[in-house]
Structure 1
Amino acid sequence: MGQILRSYRSREHPGTAKKAEAHLGGSGLNLLINNARVMPESTLESATAADMLAMYKINVVGPMFTGQAFLPLLKKAEQKSTQTGLSCSKAAIINVSTIGGSIGNTPRLATFPVISYRCTKAALNMLTRCQSVTHKEDWILCIALHPGWVKTELGTAKAELTVEDSVQGILKVLSTLSEKHHGIIVDWTERTVPW
């Protein structure tokens, strides 16, 4: 599948893309996964401007700047590829999102009382859509991916998925992504998540 690199603070650490370029030895970057997750509890009554701005910086600004910083490497991988169509083996930006950011299928607020997180993940979904429109002419696949509600420190023991199940599902989905997924949100089972 090529090189996989995860980063979300490339603008704050401008050398990250340069280090990756040196490591890749001119081959370009096939797959960029933007994954950041900080989820402080906040409700409509308790959320503050500081909460919202901090989450926006992590969940939207970071992935946007990372996409900008690594775009030349993604374009290089696409140009060197002999494959046709869109895929993670050619060049792709995957933004890790959540069903909690879905406007069309919003989970109960009592279940996930994390307003600032949810709002910024909805904004990340729009960023993904904008990237898909802009980078289609560069043949760079752009999607948002919901990994599921996973049993982690942030996901809690109530979560429905083990880390292993989520990871196995994600790896399977990454291997099947194509033009039909460009610009949408899918989950770890490849189901489409409503915007």
Structure 2
Amino acid sequence: MAEWLRSVKSLGMSVCPETDSAWVQELRELAAQHSSVRILPLDVENSASIQEAFVSVKDQLAGSGLNLLINNAGKAVSLSFHTESEESMHQLYHIHVVGSLKMSQTFLPLLKKAAQMGPQDSLSCNRAAVINISSTAGSFTELLGWKFGPSLSYRCSKAALNMLTWCQGLLLKEEGILCIAIHPGWVQTDMGNYRNFLAPIKKEDSVQGMLKVFSTLSEKNAGYFFDWEGKELCW
């Protein structure tokens, strides 16, 4: 499952499973073009894998802190109410909620170091921040994509991730670390496209929009839920 990390030295780090999928190849090509990009294997369902990634990132930072951790691991399972399984509910909760929690806990020492080294007057992504990639599919008011199916395991786990973000926002700001959830939009990815349906948002537009939102975040936004265009969302 993928996570994206950026250090105080603007050292881009992408972590991914060791497979030969097309997007992994794209990452390798990107790393070949840019010497600051590092690719690391990481499975957020595996505590040992998370710890190994932490050690690798810590070594790369060489004493510096980690400014930004984006928890982006995700999976969707399309089942009806009658066929939804215990296994898929457990797995998606583990990926979206437990995985995000474990990542934040494990990388906390590096985030705290960045917070201590950065400007002390406010919270921001330039100082230290955790961004949880969520979805309005887990919003009680939005229910994105309901006409395509209930996707209970996805919706319930994303709703739980939103609560985790709210709690982290309250707790981590005392450590100088900002935490928010963001909905990237319905993006044209392998997961976002559905059968013959093409998702409405291009990856490039989503990423550029989110980066713009990140640059505007401050302490008053701790624990909040936004979309990729900066709109505050309802839980």
Aligned 8 A contact 2:206 2:228 in 1: yes
Secondary structure at 1:145 match in 2: strand
Aligned 8 A contact 1:55 1:116 in 2: yes
Amino acid at match of 1:118: R
Q: 1:108 to 1:35 in 2, by over 3 A?
A: closer
Secondary structure at 1:95 match in 2: strand
Partner of 1:33: 70
Partner of 1:180: 220
Give the counterpart of 2:121 among 77, 84, 90.
84
Partner of 1:158: 198
Q: Whose relative contact order is higher, 1 or 2, with alpha carbons under 8 Å and at least 6 apart?
A: 1
1:90 CA displacement:
0.2
1:5 CA displacement:
4.9
Does residue 1:51 correspond to 2:88, yes or no? yes
Q: 1:5 to 1:129 in 2, by over 3 A?
A: farther
Secondary structure at 1:131 match in 2: helix
1:83 CA displacement:
4.9
Secondary structure at 1:110 match in 2: helix
Does residue 1:11 correspond to 2:47, yes or no? yes
Does residue 1:149 correspond to 2:176, yes or no? no
Q: Distance in 1 between matches of 2:121 and 2:14?
A: 25
1:12 CA displacement:
3.3
Partner of 1:192: 232
Q: Please, which runs of 5 or more residues in structure 1 have no aligned partner?
A: none
Show CA shifts across 1:37-68 (max 9, x none): 21110222211101100111111110000000
The two structures have a TM-score, normalised by structure 1, of 0.93
Amino acid at match of 1:155: G
Show CA shifts across 1:122-146 (max 9, x none): 0001111111111121110000010
Q: Distance in 1 between matches of 2:209 and 2:119?
A: 27
Q: Distance in 1 between matches of 2:120 and 2:214?
A: 16
Amino acid at match of 2:114: A
Sequence identity (%):
45
**Aligned positions, number:** 195
Partner of 1:138: 175
Secondary structure at 2:147 match in 1: coil
Give the 5 Å matches for 1:92-103: 92-103=129-140
Q: Please, which runs of 5 or more residues in structure 2 have no aligned partner?
A: 1-5, 16-42
Aligned 8 A contact 2:226 2:233 in 1: yes
Secondary structure at 2:157 match in 1: helix
